[in-house]
Amino acid sequence: MKKTAIFLLLFLIPFLDPNSYHIEILATAALYALLALGLNIIVGFAGLLHLGYAAFFAIGAYTYALLNLRLGCPFWLGLPLGMGVAGVGGVLLGLPAVRVRGDYLAIVTLGFGEIVRIVVTNLEPWTGGPNGLLGIAHPVLGGFNFGVDSRPYYWLLLVLVGGIAWVCARLRRSRIGLAWAALREDELAARTLGINGTRLKLLALGLGGGIAGLAGAVFAAKQGTITPDSFDFILSVMILAMVILGGLGSVRGVILGAVVLSVLPELLQGFSTYRMLLFGIGMIGLMRLRPQGLLGISQIRRELQRAAS
């Protein structure tokens, strides 16, 4: 009930607040929330430290952009295709990566993230190189073109965030979610209990990658233009920061983390040059005071209490 009410309220915001700048910020926050939810499956659920997550976002964006520009593929077909291609990308890049653990995995995934960005930059005949791709079609729904207005994108992203959050919450409580948690806590013990670690890690990478692909397709359709520098290492780090700040593994937490980290820099506009300095200090302070993230352990504790009663 409460969730539905919050969802409806968020849905109505564009009617209550006609300021298009505010809606644009909210749409960006929702896009980040989608990315944070996807990365949370990989890092929070399965415990795989991934530093190249922006690569899947890029794969989704370029998949829709190319399908649209070359074949005239409509957005609503490009969306699942972008998700699928990025999901397959997650599994393929994961095949060599899941053989290593911890710090080494972080370095390998960082490498993959850069490889994807550099390939996109240099594959000029296809991707337009550093200039990117222009003129990607906006979504059209029943004759209504989304155009450049932020509101329809905000509504679309809100639906996607709601849907993916529901999927994540379900997954976390499922048999697979429990197996991920076991792998994250003690891989050896989990394996001796019959958990196929490699397969489950690839599943997490595939799902996480797919969600980034979904976000990428929406991003490409919204911007109409994409260039390789939209998918750099800083983006990967930013999404990871949202996941950790919000609370690793917590669905509500990572959404909150994404909203805070994407809205905060805008709220700090008034401090002009000191904006990012204050932002950094805020993050350090939060990690000192709440290392488990905004909705970290306390949420786990509440859930346990609910299970007990």
Partner 1 sequence: MRLLRIQRLTKRFGGLLALDRVSFDVERGKIVSLIGPNGAGKTTLFNCVTGVVRPETGSIRFGPESGETLEGCAPHQIAQFGIARTFQNIRLFSNLSVLENVLVGTYVRTKSGLLEALLPWGSGAHQEERWALDRCSRLLEQLDLISFANRLASALSYGQQRRLELARALASAPELVLLDEPAAGLTFQERQELMEFLQELKKQGLTILLIEHDMKVVMPISDWVVVLDYGAKIAEGPPKAVREDPRVIEAYLGSRSNG
For residue 140, the cross-strand partners are: 145
197 binds partner 1 per the rule CB under 8 A: yes
Instruction: Tell the smallest beta-carbon distance from residue 46 to partner 1 (Å).
Output: 14
CA distances to 8, 120, 209, 230 from 66, rounded to whole Å, are 35, 12, 18, 16
Q: How many residues bind partner 1 (CB under 8 A)?
A: 28
Among 182, 205, 254, 255, contact with partner 1 (rule: CB under 8 A): 182
Distance CA 78, CA 156 (A): 15
181 binds partner 1 per the rule CB under 8 A: yes
Pick 227 or 292: Cβ nearer partner 1: 292
Pick 72 or 194: Cβ nearer partner 1: 194
- Rounded to the nearest 10 degrees, how much is the dihedral formed by the CA atoms of 204, 208, 209, 215? 170
| Residues 23-42 close enough to bind partner 1 by CB under 8 A | none
**Long-range interactions of 260-265: CB distance < 8 A, separation 24+:** 260/294, 261/32, 262/25, 262/28, 262/29, 262/32, 263/25, 263/29
How many helices (H) and strands (E) the chain has is answered by 14, 2
Instruction: Tell the smallest beta-carbon distance from residue 168 to partner 1 (Å).
Output: 10
Q: What are phi and psi of 17, to 5 degrees?
A: -125, 100
193 binds partner 1 per the rule CB under 8 A: yes
Among 20, 122, 131, 174, contact with partner 1 (rule: CB under 8 A): 174
58 binds partner 1 per the rule CB under 8 A: no
Grouping H, G, I as helix, E, B as strand and the rest as coil, residue 173 is: helix
Pick 74 or 80: Cβ nearer partner 1: 80
101 binds partner 1 per the rule CB under 8 A: no
Write out the residues near partner 1 by the rule CB under 8 A: 167, 170-171, 174-179, 181-182, 185-186, 188-197, 203, 304-305, 307-308
